[in-house]
């Protein structure tokens, strides 16, 4: 077995954002040497990794040259140059999640085709080469428009209710999905290591900001019937099986009005829906990610307590050097732990951190979470 701990082994991570920062907390715990590739010298990971390399994750040469410096390569964001990863893999570098998995997930149209091919329930959809082709099609309103590639955090997604809503959308490859009336948005994280050991985290419930289309709250366990939770976990495992991924796979789903489960989309990495696990779980998602890619035994995914994650995003009408108001007030609340991502500049709806609330009563935790959300302010000087 390779000695990953306190050794010359180098773990490479593509991306130096907040997910990377939280992953580094676990590599520090295990004393694993880390190398980060990121284009911004002010990225959250810049000052806390062992080696920081400036480079563009979508540039072939930057990714390839970085990969030649490390012993194993992983990601904290899926928007990376796949051709470079394929070449590195061909030359013998271990890359997790595998490039073939990332290639499917990077493109929402290919991802949806994958679901149909593998009999995974998902919303009916159509693919279009550009916005012009979409406008020429016979359309049934309302529907959800999604850019095919490079959307994130609500960017590149819009509910289209009339033809007027198409005005201003980028003229790029896209998909449309039938708008599904649902009771809840749910998610399950599936962990898998090289030996094929599988574990799932509890089903979580997600509440979204109606304007920004961002997650505001993640609630674990989801406040749903056991039968629905069982069905959601089974669907998540059904999604994970044909991917045969190594790492984490976050499966986002809708619970329909008649309690069916359909898959929205997946992320092949640590995920916003798993942040609660840092305080609430026996093995948080970032440690679990390390265990999967290093082919170590997987840790327990059970929760110690109920957990709720509140996203901290920049307030509207504020942009510039960030200020966090009322931090002392929320720290005085029971079970509250803030995580500040280290981004120096705020702007409207930019993810700047999150707060976890743990409590034995999930409904009480939700009350505290609401209080946190209404108290802390992310503004600028």
The partner residues of 144 in beta bridges, in order of sequence, read 159, 177
Q: Determine the Cα–Cα distance for residues 271 and 76; give it in Å rounded to an integer.
A: 9
Gap between the Cα atoms of 303 and 289, Å rounded? 17
The pLDDT profile of the chain, 381 residues, written as one tens digit per residue, is: 678 999 999 999 999 999 999 999 999 999 999 999 999 999 999 999 999 999 999 999 999 999 999 999 999 999 999 999 999 999 999 999 999 999 999 999 999 999 999 999 999 999 999 999 999 998 899 999 999 998 766 678 999 999 999 998 999 999 999 999 999 999 999 999 999 999 999 999 999 877 666 789 999 999 999 999 999 999 999 999 999 999 999 999 999 999 999 999 999 999 999 999 999 999 999 999 999 999 999 999 999 999 999 999 999 999 999 999 999 999 999 999 999 999 999 999 999 999 999 999 999 999 999 999 999 999 998
Pick the CATH number of 124-178 from 3.50.50.60, 3.30.1490.20, 1.10.3720.10, 3.40.50.1100: 3.30.1490.20
* Tokens linked to 108: 């929402």
| Protein fold of 182-380 | D-amino Acid Aminotransferase; Chain A, domain 1 (3.30.470)
- Every domain of the chain and the residues it spans: 10-95, 124-178, 182-380
Report the C-alpha gap between 231 and 313 in whole angstroms: 32
Q: Which residues pair with 192 in a beta bridge?
A: 198, 247
Supply the pLDDT for residue 212. Answer: 65
Q: How many CB atoms are located within 10 Å of the residue 137 CB?
A: 10
Q: Which residues pair with 127 in a beta bridge?
A: 175
Give residue 153's pLDDT: 61
Supply the pTM of this predicted model. 0.95
Element (H, E) at 197: none
Round the CA-based radius of gyration of the chain to a whole number and report it. 20
With beta carbons less than 8 A apart as the criterion, state whether 7 and 297 touch. no
Residue 381, class by beta-carbon neighbours within 10 Å (0-12 exposed, 13-18 middle, 19+ buried)? exposed
Strands 320-325 and 345-346: antiparallel
Of 339, 340, 354, give the one whose Cα is nearest residue 273.
354
d(CA 315, CA 325): 11
| In CATH, 10-95 is 3.40.50.20 | yes
Going by their DSSP bridges, the two strands 72-75 and 10-14 should be labelled as parallel
Question: What is the spatial distance between Cα 236 and Cα 229, in angstroms, rounded to a whole number?
Answer: 11
- The rounded distance, in Å, linking the Cα atoms of 68 and 102 is 19
Contact 314, 56 (CB under 8 A): no
Taking alpha carbons only, the member of 319, 314, 318, 330 closest to residue 378 is: 314
Q: In angstroms, rounded to a whole number, what is the distance separating the alpha carbons of residues 348 and 68?
A: 38
**Do residues 295 and 195 touch, judged by C-beta distance below 8 A?**
yes
- Cβ-in-10-Å burial (0-12, 13-18, 19+) of 31 comes to exposed
Q: Which two tokens stand for residue 245?
A: 């991924």
Q: Which residue has the tokens 């810049």?
A: 46
CA pair distance 120, 261, nearest whole angstrom: 10
């Amino acid at each position: 077995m390779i000695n990953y701990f306190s050794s010359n082994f180098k773990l490479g991570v593509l991306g130096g954002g907040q997910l990377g920062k939280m992953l580094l907390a676990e590599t520090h715990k295990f004393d694993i040497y880390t190398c980060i590739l990121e284009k911004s010298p002010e990225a959250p990971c810049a000052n806390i990794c062992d080696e920081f390399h400036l480079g563009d994750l979508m540039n072939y040469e930057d990714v390839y040259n970085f990969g030649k410096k490390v012993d194993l390569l992983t990601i904290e964001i899926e928007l990376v140059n796949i051709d470079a990863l394929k070449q590195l893999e061909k030359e013998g570098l271990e890359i997790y999640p595998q490039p073939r998995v990332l290639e499917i997930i990077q493109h929402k149209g290919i991802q949806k085709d994958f679901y149909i091919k593998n009999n995974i329930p998902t919303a009916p959809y159509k693919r279009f080469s550009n916005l012009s082709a979409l406008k020429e099609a016979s359309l049934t309103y309302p529907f959800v428009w999604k850019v095919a590639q490079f959307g994130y955090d609500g960017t590149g997604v819009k509910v289209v209710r009339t033809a007027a809503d198409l005005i201003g959308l980028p003229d790029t490859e896209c998909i449309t999905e039938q708008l599904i009336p649902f009771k809840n948005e749910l998610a399950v994280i599936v962990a898998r290591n090289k030996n094929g050991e599988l574990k799932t985290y509890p089903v979580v419930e997600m509440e979204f900001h109606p304007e920004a289309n961002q997650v505001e709250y993640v609630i674990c366990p989801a406040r749903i019937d056991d039968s629905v939770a069982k069905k959601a976990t089974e669907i998540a495992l059904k999604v994970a099986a044909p991917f045969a991924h190594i790492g984490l796979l976050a499966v986002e789903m809708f619970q329909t009005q008649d309690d069916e489960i359909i898959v929205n989309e997946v992320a092949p990495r640590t995920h916003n829906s798993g942040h609660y696990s840092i305080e609430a779980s026996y093995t948080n998602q970032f440690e679990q990610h390390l265990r999967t890619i290093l082919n170590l035994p997987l840790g327990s995914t059970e929760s110690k307590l109920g957990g709720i994650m509140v996203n901290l995003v920049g307030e509207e009408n504020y942009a510039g050097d960030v200020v966090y108001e009322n931090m002392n007030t929320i720290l005085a609340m029971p079970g509250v732990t803030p995580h500040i991502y280290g981004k120096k500049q705020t702007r409207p709806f930019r993810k700047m951190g999150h707060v976890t609330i743990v409590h034995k009563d999930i409904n009480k935790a939700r009350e505290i979470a609401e209080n946190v959300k209404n108290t802390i302010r992310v503004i600028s000087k």
